[in-house]
Amino acid sequence: MPVWYQLNEELILINVGVEINDLLAQAKLIDIARPEKAVLLEKAVQLADSHNEIELGFTARQELVRVCTFSGHPDKAIIAFSWCLGQNDKNPGRFDQWLLVWEYKWVVLALIKFPQIPLEKIAEFMEDAGRRLEEYEGGRRALYQLRAWQYQNMGLMDEEQRAYEEWQSSPRGVWGFRKGMSNCRACEISDDVYHHILWSRDREAIDAAKPLLAQQVTCESSGKSIFGMVLVPLVRLGELDKAQIYHRTGYRLISTNLTFLDSVAGHINYLTIVNDLDKAVKLFGKHLIWALEAAALTDVFEFYLASRLLFTRLIESRQMIKLRLPKAFPLYKRDGEYDVEALTSWFDEQLHSIATKFDARNKTDYFKGRIDQSQLQALFLPSNEIS
């Protein structure tokens, strides 16, 4: 290779590195919920790949995994992480092991949200993640917490209880950046609360949630989603004043980030149950576009389930309703006049379609049971005229 050509090539690579680092720096300044953040990171990945800059591509993808995980795009996180995992295994010792394994936990959770990913593949990833987690303090605890979450979302309650007990009895160890593998205290509390709710232990759930609800303990994820999780249990316990406070506090925290679509569903459920249907309709109209754009079908299912409950209640008092809905909605009407029964039927069809996919993959009837449970709940809700 002539010297001048070699120098030119080296200068190009230096300039590429500067440009990639500049893109990463720009992305760092943008809020995680803003789509521009991921766009900049994707540009950095493309630039690195086009010049075969493996290490910069690895760095950009690891940040992309984090951003997509916490901005409602777990599908992109899975793809980026899979590339990193492959490069890591082809080049032992070249990359940051701690961060890779930490992000593995997010990806395993994300896999469960897509019914097209077979159980065998999820089990394969879970086993591989578990093997890597075992190398770190608190790794076994994190693994059983992952397994409990998996079984929760599949409706395998006996397996969930066993994994929960293993999680709770495993040592937590140290926690912190580049230290152990236990999840943050806020995320542990949140999963503990969800466990009690699943087992219909509302009082235990609310008691467990107190540090999060008082914001004594918090994080960017569980510290915000906890409020939507506890609203219906609080209503069942008759603690309506607390529920109203937590609704107002919690909704503000999640209202701008797609990753909290399932939590928005919790707020819509709450408003429907307490007959604040005007506000429930407003939240539905505002966040429907999220459900239409979301890739994670578990989250879409939660939003559609809450929406179907809402319109089931509206049928009793209204045949037509005025709504401003996105053009992407299959039933979109330019005049904004919607038949309430038609909306209810559409959401019912979508729910059963999603449930069929998950139940076939999981070999359970859990999602279908969730629909039936919601229908039963609707029979006992008081009606209310919406203005």
Would you place residue 162 in the very low, low, confident or very high pLDDT band (cuts 50, 70, 90)? Answer: very high
Task: Please tell me the predicted confidence (pLDDT) of residue 264.
Answer: 98
Task: Please tell me the predicted confidence (pLDDT) of residue 312.
Answer: 95
- Average pLDDT in the chain: 92
Q: Could you read off the pLDDT of 286-338 as tens digits, one per residue?
A: 999 999 999 999 999 999 999 999 999 999 888 999 999 999 999 999 999 99
Would you place residue 3 in the very low, low, confident or very high pLDDT band (cuts 50, 70, 90)? Answer: very low
For residues 211-218, average pLDDT:
93
Would you place residue 156 in the very low, low, confident or very high pLDDT band (cuts 50, 70, 90)? Answer: very high
**Tally of CB atoms within 10 A around 60:** 28
Q: Could you read off the pLDDT of 67-122 as tens digits, one per residue?
A: 999 999 999 999 999 999 999 999 999 999 999 999 999 999 999 999 999 999 99
Task: Please tell me the predicted confidence (pLDDT) of residue 163.
Answer: 97
Instruction: State residue 26 phi and psi, 5-degree precision.
Output: -65, -45
Q: Could you read off the pLDDT of 46-64 as tens digits, one per residue?
A: 999 999 999 999 999 999 9
Q: Is the whole-model pTM more than 0.75? A: yes
**Tally of CB atoms within 10 A around 337:** 10
Q: What percent of the chain has pLDDT over 90?
A: 87
Task: Please tell me the predicted confidence (pLDDT) of residue 316.
Answer: 86
Task: Please tell me the predicted confidence (pLDDT) of residue 1.
Answer: 45
Nearest in space to 304 (alpha carbons), one of 330, 275, 336, 334: 330
Which of the residue ranges 1-10, 133-142, 364-373 would you say has the lowest mean pLDDT? 1-10
Residue with token string 């939660």: 302
Would you place residue 14 in the very low, low, confident or very high pLDDT band (cuts 50, 70, 90)? Answer: low
Distances (CA, A) of 70 to 169, 256, 267: 28, 12, 19
Distances (CA, A) of 72 to 18, 38, 65, 305, 369: 29, 11, 11, 19, 26
Would you place residue 382 in the very low, low, confident or very high pLDDT band (cuts 50, 70, 90)? Answer: low
Is residue 16's pLDDT more than 90? Answer: no
Which stretches within the chain are classed as H helix?
3-28, 35-50, 54-69, 74-90, 97-111, 119-133, 139-152, 157-169, 185-198, 202-213, 222-236, 240-254, 261-273, 277-293, 297-315, 340-362, 366-379
Q: CA 294, CA 110: separation in Å to the nearest integer?
A: 13
Task: Please tell me the predicted confidence (pLDDT) of residue 386.
Answer: 40
Task: Please tell me the predicted confidence (pLDDT) of residue 387.
Answer: 35
Q: Where are the domains of the chain?
A: 1-95, 255-387
Tell how far CA 56 is from the center of its chain: 27
Q: CA 133, CA 143: separation in Å to the nearest integer?
A: 7
